[in-house]
Every structure is written in C-alpha cells, then in structure tokens.
C-alpha cells in the first residue's frame, strides 16, 4: 500500500502529464505579452516596446513534439524512481532522496530548456532575439524550485535538522539585507577598507571634487624614471586593484620598481549631480596625468586604464593629442573598450528609446544610484550573483563566507547623471570614439589615430561585460606599436590573477600580427600557463626608462601629503 505522500506525488505527476500540451501552447502565447521592461530591472526604459513574436509552424511543431517526448520519458523515469538531475542547484543529496523534489526539479529543467529553445527559434532580428533570450533567462532563473522554501528539499531538511533555527536565521538575514539595501554576497562585517583591504602603504597627495591621487611607497631602492599612473573604473572603487597583498596589482607594480600613482574616485553625491564626461576627462584623468608629472618631474609617464577607466584614458589621450600634448609614453588597456560595436549582453538594453529616457531622466542633472548599477550587473548572471545568495541567506539561514572580491563588488558607487547619459549615447548607442571627428570632448574632436604610442591591450576570454572581441577591437584603431594578450576567465578574475597563484592561462601571438578579428588572431596564438602579469611587467619595463633612486617622501612642492592611503574618498558609501 502506498503512503499518502506517495499518492499525492503520483496524482501531481499525472496532472502534470495530462496538461503538458496545453501548458506548452499557453507558454508560446505568453510571449506575445512579454514585458521586457520588468526583465531588464533598472536598465530598460519603461518606453521599451515588447517584441512581436513569430514562429514557423515547422519549428513550433518540432519543439512541441520534442517537449512531449522528453516529458513522457521524464514521467516514465519518475515512476521507476530513476529520474536524476545534474544541475548544481539541485545537487544536494536531499533532492535525490525526495522523489517529489527530484521530479519537480527535472520538470523545471525541462521547461527551462524548452523555453530557451523557443527563444532561439523566434523569427526576428538578432537584437530582438537576444532581448527575448535575456528575458527568458531572468524568468527561468527566478522560477527555479530551489528559490522557494515549499519546494526546496535541501532547505526543508535543514529546517527540520535545526528545529527551525535555519528559518529564523534566514528571516534575520532577510531583514538585515533589506536594511542595507542589497543581498549579502559575503560576510561584509569581516572587511574594512584600509584595514584588511586596500592596505598597500601610500599617501594622498592631491584631491579635487572628482578624485584623490594616491602615491604609493616604493618597495625597491631604485625606481624607473617614468612614473606609472593607474586609472580604475569610476563605476567601482579602485581597491579591486589592491584587495590583499598577495593579489594586489598595485603592490605588484611597486615591487617591480615602478613609482606608482592611482586615481581614487569620489563617490558622487548630489553636489556632483551635474558632473559631465568632460569633467571626468579634463578635471580627473588629464589632471591626474599632469599632477603625476609635477610631483615626479618626469616629462612623460606610463598609464593604465581598467574597464571604463580605459575608455576615459583613451579619450583623454585623444584630447591631449588634439592639443599637441603627449605626456604619456605608453598606455595599458585592461578589459576596456574604445570600439563599442561588440558590447555583448549589454547590447540588449541599448536603443534610442532607452537612451532618450535616461537623458530625459538625468541628462541635465541627477545620480545613477550605485545600488541600481550593482543590481543590473548582478542580474547579468542571475543564478550565480542573485538567486544563489537568496537561497543560501534566506532559505537556509547561512552567512556567506568572507571573500574580499565580493565585498568589493557590494561596495557600490553612484554615477553623475550627465556623465552616464553622455557615455550611453556616445559609446554604446552611437559608437563615436572610433569615428574621427564625431565625438567632441573638452572642446576637442576625438581622433584615436593621433594616440600614437606603444600600447598593451589585455582582454579576458569569458568576459561578459567587455567581450573579448570588444577588447581586441582597440588594436584596429590605435596606430602605435601594439601587444595584445588574452587571459582566461572573466572581467575581474581574469585581471586579478597574480603570478604566485599559478592559476589559469594566457595567450600570446609571438609573430605580433593583429588581424581584423580576435578569432583570426587566435589561430596564431599560443597558450601559456599562469598569469599574464609577468608578460605585462616585462613589456612595461621596456617603456619605463632608466632606473633612478627611489624618493624618500611623498609628493613635492605644493602637492603635499593630505592623508594616508587609501584616503577618505574610497570609504564613502553610495
């Protein structure tokens, strides 16, 4: 005799099988009313129109037949107790031990797969299809049975084992995260900027309304005569380059004998609500270059830009070149874009309606809130960066382990509205920087052909923010001698990959050829184990000039020490 639980499960499974075809038909029809505005969270404009969905009858019938066949197979497996799931969200033994939970998870995975195949089969242009695919990804990620206590076998088991303590802790975690305004990805109480992250010794030697300039203490008796300036992205805080001593690119540069300076961006408040792209280029990047020259007495410096910091650095160099100035001897671009023809998944959000909406909303003043930006980037990888923590924090009552990179990722920054609006239109929408004379910045027409200097360009193979093709494209516009290197992993993990760890790989093309596309480049590239940092360090040394005695103090003349590194700007919360 079957127990009541098993009978209930069998009844549920039978109902599922009987309504399979009708459910599939309704799912197809639901595409007609899909609202991508909700799926796009903070990025899509409310004016974005839902796409019209059309399928060929042939593809529709093939998908229906495939679905019914796989559903029947799943039903038979469930009757025999042999249904299995391999998705890591359902990997805990509690799922396998509960036939109803296994069936629910397997049915969800089948439905998700079918929805994804439906999105791929839509007869429309590539951009509309990509938007549908993004919406489906958001919808299916949110609908996973693991996200609900009533369906999550692992969370239920833990609740029983802890006599409800995990649920109580989960509620506490939820209330805490509501109060702080974001989902906790790590135990943020463990970290403090300047205490156990951003600890490389140095001093703030200049500041204005936009940034503080940090000079770092030399770690060698001699330094190269050309100082080294790093321009990080203003969309995040600079200490991604200085998390811990063992994975700090800043510390690594100083250990290699470079007199190192870093831009630490101010976290904008309402007093900066009217700041523009021109302000950031003229009063921050160009100002930092000149102050670094003033302090060191160097005629030229070496500079590095990371992510949007690279876009701003490239723009600043073009402005300076238009003025007949060339204070930078060489430039490094890390996962940066100058050509925005290939923007990857972010392209699904960008169209004229969206940009006009943002321009109307904040183009003349306002702030793009850091928490909205952070949420948007998290939803680009919803399972890894959103629902994983929802399940762990709230359903299982766990405290995520301390992780410096995720602490940094949660330490968000605002952006001035006019800056943000200019950036959207002139780069992502109209791609003006690569078209000589099309973009005007700081009163100068931008022409990258004038940025004639040795450059080192790095891209990460699995980068979802700056696709490898977008990073590589800079090789086609900068006229100086170029070296391109591709690293494994993504936007952050690929960059923050110190040699001592011996992790990952990087690819170099020894013949130095730079064909039109990164795919063509790869055909002649060779894989090298370990970090790309050593290759970059060797290249930078050839651009840095002779070695001179390291300075004994920070700053010079009117540029005196203001406060110890990492400074106060980096500690301001959004």
pLDDT tens digit sequence for 179-188? 988 899 999 9
Over residues 449-508, the pLDDT tens digits come to 999 999 999 999 999 999 999 999 999 999 999 999 999 999 999 999 999 989 999 999
Question: How much is the pLDDT for 50?
Answer: 56
Q: Which residues contact 283 (CB under 8 A, 6 or more apart)?
A: 208, 209, 210
More reliable by pLDDT, 305 or 18? 305
Which segments of 432-571 are extended strands (E)?
440-441, 444-445, 455-460, 482-487, 505-508, 526-529, 547-549, 563-564
pLDDT of 7 above 60: no
**Euclidean distance between CA atoms 428 and 418, whole angstroms:** 15
- What whole-number distance in Å separates Cα of residue 462 and Cα of residue 494? 8
Q: What is the mean pLDDT of the chain?
A: 90
What proportion of the chain, given as a percentage, has pLDDT over 90? 77
The Cα 281–Cα 292 span in angstroms is: 15
The answer to whether the CB of 327 falls within 8 A of the CB of 321 is: no
φ, ψ of residue 62 to 5 degrees: the values are -65, -40
Q: Beta strand pairing status for 440-441 and 444-445? A: antiparallel
Asked if pLDDT for residue 37 goes beyond 90, the answer is no
Residue 235 is predicted with a pLDDT of: 93
The Cα 99–Cα 96 span in angstroms is 7
pLDDT of residue 413: 95
Residue 53 pLDDT: 64
Q: Is-contact 329 254, C-beta < 8 A?
A: no
CA 339 to chain centre: 18
pLDDT at 345 over 90: no
Q: Taking the domain 202-340+436-571, which CATH number applies?
A: 3.40.50.1820
Element holding 310 (H helix, E strand): helix 308-322
Mean pLDDT computed over 500-521: 96
What pLDDT is recorded for position 49? 56
Residue 28 CB-density burial (10 A; 0-12 exposed, 13-18 middle, 19+ buried): middle
The predicted structure's pLDDT at residue 47: 47
Q: What is the pLDDT of residues 352-365, one digit of tens each?
A: 999 999 999 999 99
Active site amino acids: 307
Tokens (6 digits) for 211: 């940034």
The confidence band for 41, taking pLDDT boundaries of 50, 70 and 90, is very low
Q: Residue holding tokens 């993990």?
A: 493
- Provide, for the chain, the percentages of residues in helix, strand and coil under a 3-state DSSP scheme, each rounded to the nearest 5: 50, 15, 40
Instruction: Delimit the domains of the chain by residue range.
Output: 4-163, 202-340+436-571
For residues 550 and 193, the answer to whether their CB atoms sit within 8 Å is no
What are the start-end ranges of the E strands in 171-259? 202-207, 211-216, 222-224, 228-231
Q: Which residue is it, tokens 């439906």?
A: 118
- Is 24's pLDDT higher than 50? no
Rounded Cα distance between 434 and 170, Å, is 50
Cβ distance 405 to 188 under 8 Å? no
Q: Which two tokens stand for residue 293?
A: 């020259």
For 332, residues 6+ apart whose C-beta sits below 8 A from its C-beta are: 302, 303, 304, 305, 455, 456, 457, 458, 536, 540
When pLDDT is averaged across residues 330-343 and rounded to a whole number, the result is 97
β partners of residue 228: 260, 302
pLDDT of residue 111: 92
Q: Among 503, 521, 502, 519, which residue's Cα sits nearest to residue 511?
A: 521
Among 395, 406, 390, 391, smallest CA distance to 183 is for 390
The alpha helices in 478-561, defined as continuous H runs, are 518-522, 533-541
Nearest in space to 134 (alpha carbons), one of 117, 113, 119: 119
The pLDDT value recorded for residue 63 is 84
pLDDT in tens, 201-223: 999 999 999 999 999 999 999 99
Distance CA 297, CA 131 (A): 52
């Amino acid at each position: 005799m079957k127990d009541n639980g098993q009978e209930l499960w069998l009844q549920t499974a039978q109902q599922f099988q009987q309504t399979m075809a009708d459910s599939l038909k309704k799912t197809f029809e639901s595409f007609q009313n899909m609202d991508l505005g909700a799926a796009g969270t903070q990025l899509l404009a409310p004016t974005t129109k839902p796409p019209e969905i059309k399928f060929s009858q042939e593809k529709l019938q093939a998908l229906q037949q495939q679905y019914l066949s796989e559903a029947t197979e799943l039903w038979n497996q469930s009757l025999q107790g042999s249904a299995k799931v391999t998705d890591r969200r359902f990997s805990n033994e509690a799922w396998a031990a509960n036939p109803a939970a296994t069936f629910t998870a397997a049915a969800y995975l089948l439905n998700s797969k079918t929805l994804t195949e439906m999105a791929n089969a839509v007869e429309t242009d590539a951009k509309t299809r990509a938007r549908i695919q993004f919406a489906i990804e958001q919808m299916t990620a949110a609908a996973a049975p693991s996200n609900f206590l009533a369906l999550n076998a692992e969370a239920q088991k833990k609740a029983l084992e802890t006599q409800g303590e995990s649920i109580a802790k989960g509620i506490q975690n939820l209330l805490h995260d509501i109060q702080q305004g974001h989902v906790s990805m790590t135990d943020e109480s463990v970290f403090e900027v300047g205490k156990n992250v951003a600890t490389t010794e140095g001093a703030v030697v200049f500041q204005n309304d936009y940034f503080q300039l940090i000079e770092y203490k030399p770690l060698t008796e001699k330094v190269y005569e050309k100082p080294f300036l790093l321009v990080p992205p203003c969309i995040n805080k600079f200490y991604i380059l200085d998390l811990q001593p063992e994975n700090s690119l800043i510390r690594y540069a100083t250990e290699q004998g470079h007199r190192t300076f870093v831009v630490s961006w101010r976290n904008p408040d309402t007093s900066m609500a009217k700041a523009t792209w021109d302000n950031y280029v003229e009063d921050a990047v160009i100002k930092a270059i000149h102050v670094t020259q003033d302090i060191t007495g160097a005629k030229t410096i070496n500079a590095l830009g990371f992510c949007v910091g690279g876009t701003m650095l490239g723009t600043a160099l073009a402005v300076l070149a238009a003025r007949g100035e060339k204070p930078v001897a060489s430039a490094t671009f890390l996962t940066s874009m100058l050509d925005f023809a290939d923007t990857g998944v972010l392209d699904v959000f960008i169209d004229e309606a969206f940009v006009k909406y943002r321009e109307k909303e904040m183009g003349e003043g306002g702030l793009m809130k850091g928490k909205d930006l952070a949420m948007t980037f998290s939803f680009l990888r919803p399972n890894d960066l959103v629902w994983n923590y929802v399940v762990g924090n709230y359903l299982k009552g766990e405290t995520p382990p301390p992780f410096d990179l995720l602490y940094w990722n949660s330490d968000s920054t605002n952006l001035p509205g006019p800056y943000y609006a200019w950036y959207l239109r002139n780069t992502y929408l109209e791609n003006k920087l690569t078209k000589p004379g099309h973009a005007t910045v700081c009163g100068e027409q931008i022409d990258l052909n004038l940025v004639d200097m040795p450059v080192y360009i790095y891209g990460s193979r699995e980068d979802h923010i700056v696709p490898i093709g977008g990073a590589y494209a800079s090789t086609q516009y900068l006229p100086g001698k170029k070296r391109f290197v591709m690293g494994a992993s993504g936007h952050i993990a690929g960059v923050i990959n110190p040699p001592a760890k011996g992790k990952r790989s990087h690819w170099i093309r020894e013949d130095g050829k730079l064909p039109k596309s990164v795919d063509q480049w790869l055909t002649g590239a060779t894989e090298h184990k370990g970090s790309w940092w050593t290759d970059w360090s060797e290249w930078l040394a050839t651009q840095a000039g002779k070695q001179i005695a390291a300075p004994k103090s920070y700053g010079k003349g009117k540029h005196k020490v203001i406060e110890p590194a990492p400074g106060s700007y980096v500690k301001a919360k959004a």
